[in-house]
Amino acid sequence: MYSSEIAWASFGVLISILLKVCISLHPYSGHGKPPMFGDYEAQRHWMEITYNLPTSMWYHNSTVNNLNYWGLDYPPLTAYHSFICGYIAHLINPKFVELGRSHGYESEEHKLFMRYTVLAADVLIYIPAIIFYYIVSQKIYNHHCRKKTKNAGNSFALKSAIVVSLIYPGLILIDHGHFQYNCVSLGFLIFSIGFLFMEREVLCTIFFCMALNYKQMELYHAFPFFLYLLSVCIPKPGESPIIGFLNVGKLGITVIATFGILWFPFIFETRHFLQVLHRLFPVYRGVFEDKVANFWCTLNVFNKLKDYCSNKMLRYCTFATLTAILPSSTDLFLRPNIKKFVPAIINSSLSFFLFSYQVHEKSILLTAIPVLLYLPQKPIPCFWFLFISNFSMFPLYVKDGLTVAYVALTVFYTVAFLFCHERWGIDLKSDNTFYMFYKEVMHVMTGAQSNKRSYGDILGITYRHFLENRKLLKKLALYVLLAISLLGSVILTCISLTFQPPKRYPDLFTVAICIYSCAHFIGFLIYFHVVQLGIPQSFCKIKQH
């Protein structure tokens, strides 16, 4: 990194931390809402359980661990993280994690402690992962196959990509407002992608296993990792088949060793192992929780899915999900190219979000973060997705009292993106900025006016020039659709804040936001499939052999 890039990366980190601290001053999930409170209390309760009870009781129902009261339902690495936080909490104030007596504990001191734990995880894992990824990815997209190619269509410099990625509102509002630790698993995911770009397959495997053992929803990303790593292990022309077996064996041992270490306390007794699995995959909860912007919640408006048994819906969801990820997964395996990997991650996670079983509204972050990583390649479509992904969680923000924070952070993020997109896009002499688009349109209009005087002739010539310049026409269509889409989001936001829904339909506005967002996500799923399929297979390593 150059000195200017280091300075801007530091600036992005400081701005990101400042925004997160400001958001942490707002309410959190379930604040002052007994008896269950919310995700904030869930995280505190897991600290209480893991600190006070032996590992054998963490996932089992008992008189001192009522699983109906925020029972632990995440993999062991989350439990270990909770134990560490619980240990520190006990040192500060034993009342924070007093067994059986700290349920619903709320104080300014405790809120400050909990906010600091998220900020620490963010600073130690997520922020370094973002910076690491963008440093590594520059070599992939600009110097792949040892050819120095100028990416003329890239309207993002490294410095702007880091700044914009670190201030994405969705993750900030969920982790530092609503209260969760998504930054941990997503940070591990980003590290694993970065190591894959560096061709460090063992480190990639370790970090993805850590992500998967922190949150089981990382299964959304599992197919691309498995298929791409498998394709890498296949012997190239001129290589011995033994090399392929050795590569597969090396990665297999890495997976087994990582899982073995993380699951060590639970693998010696079958009942403990099965109970953890039972808690990780709660089929009994139904196809989705609350209102979520996916296919099944949208379909539920017209055909009540609760009338179907859980096993039947599970089969439907599995079939739909596998069908949705099939084109992307097949392409990644049969025509491998490292440049396809992030689009494949996007397609896989978005397919799972739209069609899988037991989906939360916050799970859209599993797609949003890979989209963040693809910002330098497709700035406008990626920003569009990120805006809608944040908007899809608006009902949750309202419920948590984060409306003002949502509006302020969304406006700030939009302005920051536009500034970075234009400023450094102009420096790179890119033709994908709004400024260059405006110049092209004015050039067409000026050319029409210099040839004919009548208003009708001007419109006619302008129309023909647009048709002749298909690239400009595509840009116009993209910007018009973007403007309409964002305006629709703003209108729905204003309506839901201004008007009361009919008593007969209390969730009318929430459902409308879910359907509106779901329609966008289906469109983005098609778009990112087109992007991935449009990237050719890489023959670099084949040529080297």
- Residue 467 pLDDT level (bands cut at 50, 70, 90): low
Contacts of 75 (CB under 8 A, 6+ apart): 212, 213, 214, 215, 216, 262, 276, 280
Q: Whole-angstrom Cα distance, residue 231 to residue 218?
A: 21
**Which ranges constitute the DSSP H helices of 154-294?**
158-166, 169-172, 182-197, 201-212, 222-233, 241-262, 270-280
Q: What residue has token string 């190239």?
A: 236
Judge whether 50 and 61 are in contact, CB under 8 Å: no
CA distance 469 to 55: 66
Q: Would you give the distance in Å from CA 30 to the centre of its chain?
A: 23
Residues β-bridged to residue 62: 65
| pLDDT score of 465 more than 90 | no
Q: How many other CB atoms are there within 10 angstroms of residue 434's CB atom?
A: 15
Task: Give the burial class of 220: count Cβ atoms within 10 A of its Cβ; 0-12 exposed, 13-18 middle, 19 or more buried.
Answer: buried
Residues 40/175, Cβ–Cβ less than 8 Å: no
CA pair distance 422, 414, nearest whole angstrom:
12
List, for residues 103-143, the tens digit of each pLDDT value: 999 999 999 999 999 999 999 999 999 999 998 998 887 75
Q: How many residues make up the chain in this entry?
A: 545
Residue with tokens 């269950």: 36
> At 329, is the secondary structure helix, strand, or coil?
helix
CA distance to 133, 347, 350, 481, per residue, from 353 (Å): 24, 10, 5, 23
Average pLDDT on 260-270 reads 94
Q: Which residues pair with 53 in a beta bridge?
A: none
DSSP 531: H
Give the pair of three-digit tokens for residue 491. Answer: 């209108």
- Over residues 60-89, the mean pLDDT reads 95
pLDDT band at 476 (very low <50, low <70, confident <90, very high): confident
The mean per-residue pLDDT over the stretch 510-521 comes to 96
Tokens of 133: 């990824």
Cα–Cα distance between 346 and 351 in angstroms, integer?
A: 8
Q: For 151, phi and psi rounded to 5 degrees? A: -85, 85
Sign of CA dihedral 396, 402, 405, 407: positive
Q: How far apart are CA 291 and CA 58, in angstroms?
A: 30
Closest C-alpha among 523, 501, 527, 526 to residue 512? 501
Residue 458 has pLDDT above 90, yes or no: no
Angle at the Cα of 189 from the Cα atoms of 115 and 41, rounded to 5 degrees: 30
Report the share of the chain in percent with pLDDT over 90. 69
What's the mean pLDDT in 344-348?
Answer: 98
Pairwise CA distance, residues 25 & 241, whole Å: 58
pLDDT at 145 over 60: no
pLDDT band at 151 (very low <50, low <70, confident <90, very high): very low
Nearest CA-CA partner of 217 in 338, 402, 369: 369
Encode 63-82: b = buried (16+ Cβ within 10 Å), e = exposed: eebeeeebbbbbbbbbbbbb
Going by C-alpha positions, the residue among 264, 136, 265, 124 that lies closest to residue 193 is 136
Element holding 321 (H helix, E strand): helix 310-334
pLDDT of residue 456: 59
Binned at pLDDT 50, 70 and 90, residue 468 comes out as low
| Predicted local confidence at residue 158, as pLDDT | 73
Residue 429 pLDDT > 60: no
- pLDDT confidence of residue 314: 87
What's the pLDDT score for residue 459? 57
**pLDDT category of residue 422 using cuts at 50, 70 and 90:** confident
Place 433 in a pLDDT band, splitting at 50, 70 and 90: low
Q: Which pLDDT score, from 0 to 100, does residue 291 have?
A: 86
* Cβ-based neighbours of 310, under 8 Å, separated by 6 or more: 283, 284, 286, 287
The token pair that represents 470 in the structure block: 């298909």
State the average pLDDT for the chain: 87
Q: Is pLDDT of 461 > 50?
A: yes
% the chain with pLDDT above 70: 86
Q: At 367, is the pLDDT very low, low, confident or very high (cuts 50, 70, 90)?
A: very high
Closest CA relative to residue 169, chosen from 446, 5, 405: 405
Q: What's the DSSP call for residue 507?
A: T
DSSP state of 65: B
Least confident of 133-137, 261-265, 365-369: 133-137
Residue type, 297: C
For residue range 201-224, list pLDDT tens digits in order: 999 999 999 999 999 999 999 999
Question: Is residue 411 classed exposed, middle or buried when 0-12, 13-18 and 19+ CB atoms within 10 A define those classes?
Answer: exposed
Alpha-carbon distance of 416 to 408, in angstroms, equals 12
Residues 159-173 pLDDT 10s: 788 889 999 999 999
Residue of 469 and 65 predicted with greater confidence: 65
Q: How confident is the model at residue 152 (pLDDT cuts 50, 70, 90)?
A: very low
366 near 190, Cβ under 8 Å?
A: no
pLDDT category, 283, cuts 50, 70, 90? confident
Per the listing, tokens 């495997």 go with 205
